[in-house]
Structure 1
Amino acid sequence: MNWHEQTKVYEAALIKDLDKIIRIPSVLEVKSSTPQMPFGVDVVRALTAMEELAMRDGFRFGRVDNMVTWIEYGPKDAAETVGILTHIDVVPAGDGWDSNPFQANVRAGKLYGRGAADMKSDVMTSYYAIKYLKDHAIELKRKVRLIIGTDEENQWRDLPKYFEVEGKPVMGFSPDGTFPVINGEKAFQTIQLRFPSQSSGAFILMRFMAGERSNVVPGEARARLLVPDVKQLELDFKNYLAQYPFLSGEVSTNRQEIRLTLYGRQAHGAYPQDGENAGTYLANFLNQYTFEDDAAAFLELLDTLHTDILAETLGLQYTDSEMGVLTLNVAIMRFNHNGQGQISLGFRYPKGMNLQTVKDQVGQHLGTLHAKLTVQPGGMEPHLVPLTDPLVHVLSLAYASEVGMYAPPRTSNGGSYARLLERGVAFGGQFPDVPVTSHQSNEYVPVENLTRTMAVFVNALISLDKI
């Protein structure tokens, strides 16, 4: 059967429903969080929107602690459940968009919006896959449950709570990656450095800011300085930017004060090579001047880590034959004169490396920065499902059926909810020929791929029920 021909008829309805949830800025909002809404009001609005679709289409559904919504198809009394693990929260929009990030904007065959790639489109294609099963009265022996979380982009506090209440699926997949099957995911851990931030001398660093999230490559950095010659530093900055066509910036001056803004390219922290880290570029520029005290140590460390995505300067270069290389994202950079500074380092590493080694090596390479080092909560160690598991085989064949050729499973830098299941893999919804735009401005998904992904999932769910 040509599954894509079957699912193509759902395209207009799917896009209409996808637009509804993209319009909800479901970003973690600490200010509006309460014990009843721990991640803020907007993520709850997004869950409600999905429940309204489930009610419209006649599904069983429920909610756990305003953190997770589940939508279910299949025998109510089935002993086993196949899980589709998704999230409806997104990272902040950031700057640089050509259209409203919180609206599904279709142009030239692409649907743009925050969450179009990560991962509201995949929530919707998963939903429409189980809708297809229901519309066609396809009988299953297991329940299929779409599980929609709201804290994946932060600390993963949602699905553990869901599992406490509802239990774990016997197996499943998370469409929060790329095709084909991703049977292994690297560890992700964030190490935070906090330190005093004093600055004195001829060049004074008053403020430095870059980055908002540990899983995002900063696309913008700002600094405020007091300098002896603002005109010379402004000229130097413009000359520096001219060396790098992918950078841009802005300057404003007021007597001895100069404010610099540098724009790089935001990217997903799992793939730092896809971005241009605005924070480390700005530090690289500023480190040529004679700063003193903590400012000098701060800029020197950032300059040392500049473009070092393999963490070689930390003595952490490491490769596993099955899972690949360790990578580093310098994610958050803060310096506040006469206050406290912060650097957050996001690591992705394969099996064979461990958190203690990473922590020890960072501690030994701080230079003159007097920092307190802590490991942030919510990190995960490497996850690997054997290639011999029938789950891996069945999903691989479902993808091959759509694209016309077999593609072997692989491992990934990214982290998905799949790692929360012993028999869990990442599977779609990004096709390998599409650039990764997750966490970037102008994030998009090709419109045609929406129903292609849906087709793969329909085939996969029917096939999984037979093992």
Structure 2
Amino acid sequence: RGAVDDKSGSFASLLALAAINDLLAEGALELPRRVRVIFGGDEESGMTCAQHYAATQPATVFAVSPDGEWPVVFAEKGQALVDLAGPCPEAGELYAAEITCGTRRNVVPALAEAKLLGSAAGLAGGAEALAGWWDRNVTFERSAEGIELRATGKAAHGSTPFMGDNAGIRLLRVLAGLPVAGRDRWSELLALCDPAGEGLGLAGADPVSGPTTSNLGTIEVGSGRVSLGLDVRFRSDRDLAWVREQVAAAAPKAGLSVVEVDGIPPMHEPVDGTLVQTVMAVYRAELNGENPPIARGARTYASYIPHCVCVGRDDPSWSEGGVHGADEHYALPALRTAGRALAHLLIRLAMAPAD
């Protein structure tokens, strides 16, 4: 895992627990409830660890996940992991025989590569079109066997696709603009992967969580098949059944079938409840903050742990760097600030009356 996401939250939690233990050992503190720090190992790949904990342990009275930003994330969009597959656009004078792009659905891919094959005339025409292509982030090399096509972008978290530059989208845009076989199909696939979810029939917004986003995380083409993996963060007034219905209707328009749509329903804790209000009080006291509670698209263990919200993992005056990117980094002073704030918060929640 990265320095920010979420080694920072893990270490800040240990600092908080150590501080609470010191106070208990000195006799300076008594707690009416147990305080437990839980470490999971599957947060980016289905959260089965959190699901197992919730199913086998007593329900939490209050819980926080230091995996976001201050003051408190009281609502998280639903997440749908979408896998689609179908036959490739047909072969011809020039066609895409292979494509590799991305490794995970929840990361904006920074690199996409394709191998174009075809006749001598088709390859010559493709090379000529690529030489005049407007996008400088798309490069190619001509060989005796074909054309090696490469698109570069910028990685970002899949919950915020507009913060990155999707190399897969760039590559599909090229294929939709070149004189390749099945050009219309590539255009349909490009439309299906619209980052606002329009192509999947999921676009829209609600007042709590904001607009739907869709991240094309993976593309795989080979042996006559094309597979797409997408990460959709959908509005809090919809559910997974609605997402499945919309995707099932949209996929055939691009010649694809639904392999799987799995995910996590939206999370929403009352802003005026004890949990959110206690976090806000600690935020104001420890961090001198004035921002209101927020909703976002990123998902955390708060999705499965009862009565749980997401809180910050650093000092909000310091900007964390490069989550899910090549330059992910974290500052030690921010870690100490987060540890102190978490210790205060856990003590307050251990003493707070349950809703």
Say yes or no: TM over 0.5. yes
Q: 1:432 to 1:451 in 2, by over 3 A?
A: closer
Tell me the distance in 2 between the aligned counterparts of 1:127 and 1:253: 54
Tell me the distance in 2 between the aligned counterparts of 1:368 and 1:164: 40
8 A Cα contact 2:218 2:229, kept in partner: yes
- Aligned residue for 1:462? 347
- Aligned residue for 1:111? none
From 305, 308, 326, give the equivalent of 1:424.
308
Q: Which has the higher contact order (CA 8 A, sep 6+)?
A: 2
The count of aligned residue pairs is 345
From 118, 126, 130, give the equivalent of 2:13.
126
Tell me the distance in 1 between the aligned counterparts of 2:131 and 2:16: 52
Per-residue deviation, residues 126-177 of structure 1 (Å, max 9, x unmatched): 1111011113334322111111111111122112223344333221010111
The one-letter code of the counterpart of 2:45 is: N
Tell me the distance in 2 between the aligned counterparts of 1:383 and 1:153: 17
8 A Cα contact 1:198 1:337, kept in partner: no
From 230, 236, 247, give the equivalent of 1:351.
236
Per-residue deviation, residues 245-292 of structure 1 (Å, max 9, x unmatched): xx3x55333214111222101111111111111001011012112333
From 29, 38, 44, give the equivalent of 1:147.
38
8 A Cα contact 1:210 1:279, kept in partner: yes
2:141 is aligned with 1:255: no
Q: 1:370 to 1:401 in 2, by over 3 A?
A: same
8 A Cα contact 1:178 1:431, kept in partner: no
Q: How does 1:333-372 map to 2 (within 5 A)?
A: 333-338=219-224, 340-366=225-251, 369-372=254-257
Tell me the distance in 2 between the aligned counterparts of 1:239 and 1:391: 58
- Give the drift of 1:326: 1.0
Q: 1:290 to 1:231 in 2, by over 3 A?
A: closer
Which is further off, 229-238 or 312-321?
A: 229-238
The one-letter code of the counterpart of 1:263 is: T
Q: How does 1:37-48 map to 2 (within 5 A)?
A: none
- Give the drift of 1:395: 1.0
Tell me the distance in 2 between the aligned counterparts of 1:130 and 1:285: 53
The one-letter code of the counterpart of 1:346 is: D
- Give the drift of 1:237: 3.9
Tell me the distance in 2 between the aligned counterparts of 1:436 and 1:317: 29
- Aligned residue for 1:287? 176
2:61 is aligned with 1:176: no
- SS, match of residue 142 in structure 1: coil
Q: 1:239 to 1:128 in 2, by over 3 A?
A: farther
From 287, 294, 299, give the equivalent of 1:410.
294
- Give the drift of 1:239: 4.9
Tell me the distance in 1 between the aligned counterparts of 2:292 and 2:43: 27
Q: How does 1:85-96 map to 2 (within 5 A)?
A: 90=1
8 A Cα contact 2:109 2:154, kept in partner: yes
The one-letter code of the counterpart of 1:384 is: H
Tell me the distance in 1 between the aligned counterparts of 2:40 and 2:85: 31
8 A Cα contact 1:229 1:256, kept in partner: no
- SS, match of residue 388 in structure 1: coil
- SS, match of residue 322 in structure 1: coil
Task: Give the unaligned 5+ runs of structure 2.
Answer: none
The one-letter code of the counterpart of 2:220 is: R
The one-letter code of the counterpart of 2:292 is: P
Tell me the distance in 2 between the aligned counterparts of 1:355 and 1:164: 21
Per-residue deviation, residues 402-449 of structure 1 (Å, max 9, x unmatched): 222332211111111012133110011155562562211111123321
- SS, match of residue 176 in structure 1: strand
- Give the drift of 1:238: 5.8
- Aligned residue for 1:215? 106
Tell me the distance in 1 between the aligned counterparts of 2:72 and 2:142: 53
The one-letter code of the counterpart of 2:166 is: N
Task: Give the unaligned 5+ runs of structure 1.
Answer: 1-89, 91-114
Q: 1:275 to 1:394 in 2, by over 3 A?
A: same
Which is further off, 229-238 or 341-350?
A: 229-238
Tell me the distance in 2 between the aligned counterparts of 1:460 and 1:410: 18
From 205, 212, 215, give the equivalent of 1:329.
215
- Aligned residue for 1:317? 203
Tell me the distance in 2 between the aligned counterparts of 1:238 and 1:142: 68
- Aligned residue for 2:90? 199
- TM-score using structure 2 length: 0.89
Tell me the distance in 2 between the aligned counterparts of 1:180 and 1:232: 56
Tell me the distance in 1 between the aligned counterparts of 2:190 and 2:56: 47
Tell me the distance in 1 between the aligned counterparts of 2:330 and 2:267: 27
- Aligned residue for 2:155? 266
- CA RMSD, 1 decimal: 2.3
2:187 is aligned with 1:300: yes
Q: 1:128 to 1:435 in 2, by over 3 A?
A: closer
- Give the drift of 1:300: 1.8
